[in-house]
Chains A and B, each alone.
Chain A
């Protein structure tokens, strides 16, 4: 039970990093990206390949994973971030599928559908991480969540971050102010991808294996669910979303009802959750209600007349 609880916490931590990084892209900058699983996958595979075949150590792999993921972010972002809304969503979705296809088909490097096993665990301060030291993972990953949180908080409160939020609100106005919106969007995209790559690296060394089916479209949707549920553009919301959704998805195992609740019900529940949140609380649990210009004008006019 203790082991299972620590696994739960570790998954929450990894997903929290993913949700925080997607929130920078989707929440603060307003770019609906559906290829977050691809960045996660690049991170996980870079670490797995580097550590098993290249004999890299953990910290180096972690760093390279983040950098490669953000490079992929640049490759994806440069052409697609000129697109808007639905088109961007579809183009990123396409890229996600392409990355998954390449992983499955590049047998010599990624070992195809079988994935890579035997990824070494991190080693630091004379402590060898492993399944017998779950708390070491919990602590280490908590540091990463905190790091991600503070870096992103610092970014969004900077001049750069305010430009991102302005892009979300009105890209045409931002362009009129002489800001190159595409450049800002690409940089935000690369930052988000960097942290997703880090999360992938953490995933690989904790599970000690990677397999392509982990990184499908459903994962991108799941992370988006977390961000939307917590509230777009709210970092604490993203962490809360990760907490709620990981616990919900592990609920059958937590309560020992795996035989009673089929796996499909869980996913159907997420689908339903997505629809219901959109209909009844589109701003998410911790999100601010968006004030639209029209309602604000109506409110002022009403106050004048009374």
Chain B
């Protein structure tokens, strides 16, 4: 059975490309879902944190490695990734303290607008500091395709999927089994009760922002491997990752991972199978969003929330 006009090897190729794209979405979606799980608000500036992380990673990698590919390149790339994760984590915590913390008790519109404000500031700051011309991250190793049967895989795709997978598994283990992870889950269930149980909820919130932002920075560097770095790159990446988070069930970490990968695969197939023009590929994501919100607002793995009077 071939899907419409596609051969099996073409389907395999689209699955590979879709999973690569999707694992990046999943990594970004984790930040949204964690913040939403705890504070019940969409951190609109998440995509801009990703962009800042990508720039930080670019500068670290340039300082460490310079031009060209050496035998140490992959190691230095991972080192630069850790550096950019630290920078973004700090930035995420600062943003939370300045722009969101004063609004914790305000109506829900307030933090959302404040987050939009932060995203405007960050993307314009980047345009001012780094210029509007896009930058290209040099490859940590030659990007020659490896053939698996008729399916072509590039080393970058392997790097993207493997690093995304490692980070996601690490996060899942941290949240499920560590003491801090437990405190995080308690805070997301009921902040006041968690506070009464002696959990420092302010610290947990900062930690959530730090982890989410660090994951976004890693995703930013992986995005940079595939496309270029520019000041407004975060907006669309952030939006699509949000779609992924809603798709999987917002507030649910496993859901965000599944939603991200599914979105990547669906988007790739939408372009290939339905013949959607490249310029309209983002439209696929938003159409999915509308349908998910309409028919299953709690997402694939989310719990249904009852309206309380």
Contact = CB atoms under 8 A, between A and B. Distances in A.
Interface of A: 32, 79-80, 82-83, 85-87, 89-91, 93-95, 97-98, 101-102, 104-105, 172-173, 217-218, 221, 224, 228, 262, 264-265, 267-268, 270-275, 278-279, 282, 290
Interface in B277-299: 277, 279-280, 282-283, 285-287, 289-290, 293-294, 297
B116 interface: yes
Given A83-B293, A262-B128, A267 B120 contact: yes
Interface in B201-220: none
The 5 closest A-B pairs by CB, nearest first: A274-B117, A271-B120, A94-B286, A271-B121, A264-B124
A268 B129 CA distance: 13
Given A86-B112, A105-B280, A91 B293 contact: yes
B110 interface: yes
B109 interface: yes
Interface string B122-138: 00110110000000000
Contact of B235 (A105, A217, A282): A217
A101 B290 contact: no
Contacts of B127: 264
A104 B281 CA distance: 13
B106 interface: yes
A93 B236 CA distance: 11
Interface of B: 41-42, 98-99, 102-103, 106-114, 116-121, 124-125, 127-128, 235-236, 239, 242-243, 246, 277, 279-280, 282-283, 285-287, 289-290, 293-294, 297, 307, 309
A243 B118 CA distance: 23
Q: DSSP class of B's interface residues: helix, strand, loop or mixed?
A: helix
B96 to A, nearest CB: 12
Contacts of A32: 109, 112
Given A91-B293, A274-B116, A278-B117, A85 B108 contact: yes
Nearest to B102: A279
B125 A268 contact: yes
A271 B280 contact: no
10 contacts: A91-B289, A94-B239, A102-B280, A173-B309, A265-B124, A267-B120, A271-B116, A274-B117, A278-B103, A279-B102
Contact of B279 (A101, A172, A275): A101
A105 B279 contact: yes
B28 to A, nearest CB: 14
Most A CB within 10 A of own CB, among B103, B107, B124: B124
A85 B305 CA distance: 14
A94 B124 contact: no
A193 B177 CA distance: 50
Q: By CB atoms of chain B within 10 A, which of A262, A274, A278 has the most? A: A278
A228 B109 CA distance: 10
A6 to B, nearest CB: 29
B103 to A, nearest CB: 6
A275 B118 contact: yes
A91 B285 CA distance: 11
Contacts of A102: 280, 283
Contact of A80 (B114, B290, B309): B290
A93 B242 CA distance: 12
A228 B290 CA distance: 26
B114 A274 contact: yes
B117 A271 contact: yes
Nearest to B236: A97
B108 A101 contact: no
Contacts of B110: 278, 282
B120 A172 contact: no
A281 to B, nearest CB: 11
A275 B114 contact: yes
A90 B247 CA distance: 13
A213 B235 CA distance: 15
A97 B108 contact: no
B107 A101 contact: no
A195 to B, nearest CB: 22
A217 B283 CA distance: 15
Contacts of B243: 94
Contacts of B235: 217
Contact of B118 (A85, A218, A271, A290): A271
A221 B102 CA distance: 22
Contacts of A274: 113-114, 116-117, 120
A129 to B, nearest CB: 35
Given A101-B282, A270-B117, 8 more contacts: A32-B109, A89-B112, A94-B239, A97-B282, A98-B283, A228-B113, A278-B114, A278-B117
